[in-house]
Amino acid sequence: MARAGLTANRLVQAAAELADEVGFDKVTVSALARRFGVKDASLYSHVKNAQDLRERVAMLALEELADVAADALAGRAGKDALVAFANAYRAYAKLHPGRYAAAQLRLSPEAAAASAARRHSEMTRAILRGYGLREPDQTDAIRMLHSTFHGYVSLETAGGFAHTPRDAGISWQRTLDALDAVLRNWPVE
Amino acid sequence: MARAGLTANRLVQAAAELADEVGFDKVTVSALARRFGVKDASLYSHVKNAQDLRERVAMLALEELADVAADALAGRAGKDALVAFANAYRAYAKLHPGRYAAAQLRLSPEAAAASAARRHSEMTRAILRGYGLREPDQTDAIRMLHSTFHGYVSLETAGGFAHTPRDAGISWQRTLDALDAVLRNWPVE
DNA sequence: GTAAAGTTCCTAGAGGTATTAGGCAAATAA
DNA sequence: TTATTTGCCTAATACCTCTAGGAACTTTAC
């Protein structure tokens, strides 16, 4: 009886690939077992259950996303940083739709997710440094930026922009221009 | 053998309530049958299958969302309209989280979804009339608005803003201020 | 008013997914 | 080499989806 060499990490990696291929909602214990040529029950030595598996994929995606964003941000400031960060974010979502969907999962162990989530916030805060925003405006601006990025990418990949002929990449650029403008002149009510 | 009085509409309505109570992903044919005190198989005379059921809930949500948005928009213009529309959107998502999740479903029969989707675009376009935007800027702005609204609501309900003490309602208001500002002064590159 | 037709719901059953319990064999440690 | 741990298996339960075919109820048509 030859062993398949399963590992939690290997499973999560394969689950992430599966998610990108067939969609995150179709990442199932059975499908994953099939991919490794083992029985379903065998996976339960490595992951707690299906939910645990999905959460690990989510964590992987969050970390990867933070990595590419950090790379994009390195050595840039101001609008340059904003655009690079945003583009890295959008590119990752396009390249890894399943992982991106996973990253949107509501994680139960808040503590575990916090590390990746904090990295994202830190980076966004770094971008804002170039715009001279102070708290609490900074938090408001971070929330707006995250919302716009996530909303745009999410609607775009769901086909929400397909009805209109206008190229989605151009609207994205214009949206970034608009965000830059609003940050440079943040409304002080 | 007393009849339960099932109807496609009644099923969809109950499924929507179920979605708000336990989450859209837990809306299942079995659970719905249980709620009506009938056998699973009985539902298949009224809906094609589970996917069909979910899509009908999505359509219901899209229509309801368009209705409340239209009400909010009536008789308003400019920033007033923008804020009313956005608040109606956010309020609906908070009141009906399951339905809101359903509305995000990628609908297969594009034609069917188009009617509701068009209403949303029409309304957003109406808001922009107060800002004097022309095509193609209008399309870009619509996409930005939708993205920000959806992204914010989506992140908020997923608990993404819970780490920071800042009240999510205030950040929302400031985001709307920012959107108003950027629309009044749309960057012409 | 009754017979035909259509509709609603049921029973039965097949197939997929999630998960636990318990066992044997392979890898590792003593 | 023996002892222990680990990896994967079989078996079994439970839930969800969906199809086929049948019985009871409702509506239609004469």
Out of B149, B177, B179, closest to residue A151 by CB: B149
Out of B143, B151, B171, closest to residue A161 by CB: B143
Angle at A72 between CA A70 and CA A78, to 5 degrees: 100
Is B12 inside a domain boundary? no
pLDDT category at A5 given cuts 50, 70, 90 is confident
The stretch B36-55 carries a mean pLDDT of 95
Residue A189 pLDDT > 70: no
Contacts of B182 in chain A (CB under 8 A): 178-179, 181-182
Mutate to test the interface with A, among B149, B150, B183, B185 (most CBs of A within 10 A): B150
pLDDT category at B117 given cuts 50, 70, 90 is confident
Q: In the predicted model, what is the mean pLDDT of chain B?
A: 92
Alpha helices (runs of H) in chain B, residue ranges in sequence order: 8-22, 29-36, 50-73, 78-95, 97-103, 110-129, 137-157, 168-184
Q: Establish whether the CB of A40 is closer than 7 Å to any nucleic acid atom in strand C.
A: yes
Distance in angstroms, CA of B38 to C1' of D19?
A: 17
pLDDT at B149: 97
The stretch B26-35 carries a mean pLDDT of 96
Is A114 inside a domain boundary? yes
Which residue of chain B has the CA closest to A147? B151
Residue A83 pLDDT > 80: yes
pLDDT at B111: 58
Mean pLDDT lowest for which of A81-95, B105-119, B128-142? B105-119
| Number of domains chain A contains | 1
Mean pLDDT lowest for which of A1-15, A101-115, A168-182? A101-115
The stretch B8-26 carries a mean pLDDT of 96
pLDDT at A110: 60
pLDDT category at A106 given cuts 50, 70, 90 is confident
Is A36 inside a domain boundary? no
Q: Nearest residue (Cα to C1') for D19? A: B41
Q: In the predicted model, what is the mean pLDDT of chain A?
A: 92
Size of interface A-B (CB pairs under 8 A): 128
Question: A144 vs B106: CB contact, 8 Å cut-off?
Answer: no
Question: A166 vs B106: CB contact, 8 Å cut-off?
Answer: no
Q: Which nucleotide is nearest to A45 (CA to C1')?
A: D7
Is B66 inside a domain boundary? yes
CA distance B81 to A92: 35
Q: Establish whether the CB of A29 is closer than 7 Å to any nucleic acid atom in strand C.
A: yes
CA distance A2 to A186: 63
Is A137 inside a domain boundary? yes
pLDDT at B158: 87
Q: Comparing C-alpha atoms, which of B116, B7, B23 is closest to residue B63?
A: B116
Side chain identity at B132, as an amino acid letter? G
Instruction: Work out the percent of chain A whose per-residue pLDDT is above 90.
Output: 78
Out of A139, A166, A180, closest to residue B136 by CB: A166
| Nucleic strand D contact set for A 60-99 (CB, < 7 Å) | none
CA distance A74 to A76: 6
The stretch A122-143 carries a mean pLDDT of 92
Cβ-Cβ contacts under 8 Å for A189 (sequence gap 6 or more)? B174, B177
Cβ-Cβ contacts under 8 Å for B115 (sequence gap 6 or more)? none
pLDDT at A113: 65
Angle at B47 between CA B46 and CA B48, to 5 degrees: 125
pLDDT at B1: 61
pLDDT at A4: 77
Instruction: Work out the percent of chain B whose per-residue pLDDT is above 70.
Output: 95
Q: Which nucleotide is nearest to B42 (CA to C1')?
A: C9
pLDDT at A115: 78
Side chain identity at A41, as an amino acid letter? A
Residue A179 pLDDT > 90: yes
pLDDT tens, position by position, B144-180: 999 999 999 999 998 888 888 999 999 999 999 999 9
Is B88 inside a domain boundary? yes
Question: B187 vs A181: CB contact, 8 Å cut-off?
Answer: yes
Question: How many CB atoms are located within 10 Å of the residue B189 CB?
Answer: 6
Answer yes or no: are the C-beta atoms of B151 and A150 closer than 8 Å: yes
Distance in angstroms, CA of A96 to C1' of C9?
A: 45
Residue B188 pLDDT > 80: no
CA distance A72 to A126: 12
CA distance A51 to B159: 18
Is A48 inside a domain boundary? no
pLDDT at A167: 97
Could you tell me the CATH number of the domain that includes residue B117?
Answer: 1.10.357.10
């399943």: which residue's tokens? A98
Is A29 inside a domain boundary? no
Domain that includes residue A95, residue range: 57-184
The stretch A98-120 carries a mean pLDDT of 80
